[in-house]
Amino acid sequence: MTESFSAIVAEDVDGKPVATLKQISNADLPDLPVLVEVAYSTMNYKDGLALSGAAPICRKLPLICGIDLAGTVLESADPAFSPGDQILVNGFGLSEVHNGGYTQRQRLDPGWIVRVPESMSLSETMALGTAGYTSMLCVQGLQDQGVTPEDGPILVTGAAGGVGSVAVSLLAGLGYEVHASTGRIDEQGEFLRGLGASALVPREDLARDCKPLERELWAGVVDTVGDKVLATAIAQTKYEGVVAACGLAGGAGLSSSVMPFILRGVTLRGVDSVMASQARRQRAWDALAATMNREHLASLSETVPMSELMEMAPKILAGQIAGRLIVDVN
Ligand code: NDP
């Protein structure tokens, strides 16, 4: 197998990472035990940062971009995997310090690999991708702290984005009353209601200076935005409510007070998908296979060819993409 194939590679140009679609060969892949024929990858916010060079995501150059991949094992020097196995990888440093998923072939460390759940197709796993798997980590963060549908409404911020839209669908499917906060009510309100949101919250209601404690509204929060939106959500969380914070689409800052924590027993639950343990990943993927509404998944995702990704990067950073982008690498 020596012929060339397509990949998006970030290379050092005058000290900065610049990503381009180019032809590479097996010789450009790392020396790792599992060779995979990649079928799909995804486009996440972090991929937008990497492709546009807006943040130094690729910390080793040259590097194949793409934080997710799904495909079929071609060869494995590790007995845990055999040719024909369907697998996926999310994070674990792909596109940061390890070669990622924007390629037609990749070599992988077996420790990064999750088996595709039996009831899922490769394309469905990438319709979810890191964003969807992170949504489930957030949902499980709320569940693990004991938040039930009877406790009251759940707020999802950045709801029309990838993590947010999957979280809306998952929570509604699990019986929670979901309030979806978005800056695009006119454009995306119907879409969010179709996923199960029972109320829409304008972004500006949250993206403002808040008081240390505000009216108690939320039994739980899935926050993808950070900064003022997160601070307001914390101030509005009910007694012993839980806030799962996973994103920074609105900024990395957080100026809050201890009042919600010491007077209402609020829990701030950080969520990281990149270095999550295999056990946590498998649990999240098994739960996604069991609970994700496949019609919702089809309605919130679209497939784009790898050749169009460079144009998509500024759009995802500008918050102009709704739902999820599956990347067809072939
Ligand atoms: P998307 O770009 O798909 O969605 C982000 C959404 O945030 C947008 O759709 C928009 O929602 C909202 N938004 C964008 N800009 C702003 C702004 N300036 N102020 C307020 N809201 C804004 O990204 P993803 O869903 O892929 O990722 C969401 C966040 O989660 C990102 O910050 C990402 O880095 C992070 N993330 C973290 C992970 C982890 O492991 N912790 C894993 C995956 C993602 P709307 O239009 O509805 O207002």
ipTM of the prediction: 0.99
Conformation bin of residue 308: beta by default, left when phi > 0, alpha when psi is -120 to 50: alpha
Residue that the structure tokens 């943040």 belong to: 55
* Residue with CA nearest ligand 1 atom 10: 158
Phi, psi (degrees; rounded to nearest 5) at 109: -80, 130
- The reported pLDDT for the residue numbered 2 is 57
What is the reported pTM?
A: 0.95
Distance from Cα 247 to the centre of ligand 1, integer Å = 6
Conformation bin of residue 241: beta by default, left when phi > 0, alpha when psi is -120 to 50: beta
Select from 42, 32, 44 the least CA-distant residue to 106: 32
- The reported pLDDT for the residue numbered 1 is 52
- The reported pLDDT for the residue numbered 236 is 98
165 CA: nearest ligand 1 atom:
25
Q: How many CA atoms lie within 13 A of 223 on its CB side?
A: 30
What does the alpha-carbon distance between residue 70 and residue 257 come to, in Å, rounded to a whole number? 42
249 CA: nearest ligand 1 atom:
32
Tell me the DSSP string of 87-118. EEEE-TTBTTTB--SSBSEEEE-GGG-EEPPT
> Pairing between strand 114-115 and 218-223?
unpaired
Distance from Cα 325 to the centre of ligand 1, integer Å = 13
Mutate which of 41, 42, 43, 45 for ligand 1? The one with the most ligand atoms within 8 Å of its CB, which is 45
- The reported pLDDT for the residue numbered 235 is 98
Q: What is the CATH number of domain 129-270?
A: 3.40.50.720
Tell me the DSSP string of 61-96. SSEE--SEEEEEEEEESSTT--TT-EEEEE-TTBTT
Question: pLDDT digit string (tens) for 117-145?
Answer: 999 999 999 999 999 999 999 999 999 99
What does the alpha-carbon distance between residue 323 and residue 95 come to, in Å, rounded to a whole number? 22
* Pocket residues: Cβ below 6 A from ligand 1: 44-46, 130-131, 134, 158-164, 182-184, 203, 207, 224-225, 229, 246-250, 271-274, 316, 319, 321
- The reported pLDDT for the residue numbered 107 is 98
Mutate which of 137, 200, 224 for ligand 1? The one with the most ligand atoms within 8 Å of its CB, which is 224
DSSP 188: H
- The reported pLDDT for the residue numbered 299 is 92
Q: What is the CATH number of domain 5-116+300-328?
A: 3.90.180.10
> Structure tokens of 107?
């070599």
Select from 132, 124, 152, 129 the least CA-distant residue to 241: 152
* Residue with CA nearest ligand 1 atom 21: 250
- The reported pLDDT for the residue numbered 170 is 98
* Partner residues linked to 121 by β-bridges: none
List of E strands, the chain? 5-13, 16-24, 34-43, 63-64, 68-76, 86-90, 105-108, 114-115, 154-156, 178-182, 197-202, 218-223, 237-245, 267-270, 301-305, 324-328
* Residue with CA nearest ligand 1 atom 5: 161
- The reported pLDDT for the residue numbered 267 is 98
Domain ranges of the chain: 5-116+300-328, 129-270
Taking 50 as the pLDDT cut, the residues of the chain under it are: none
Phi, psi (degrees; rounded to nearest 5) at 17: -75, 125
Distance from Cα 82 to the centre of ligand 1, integer Å = 36
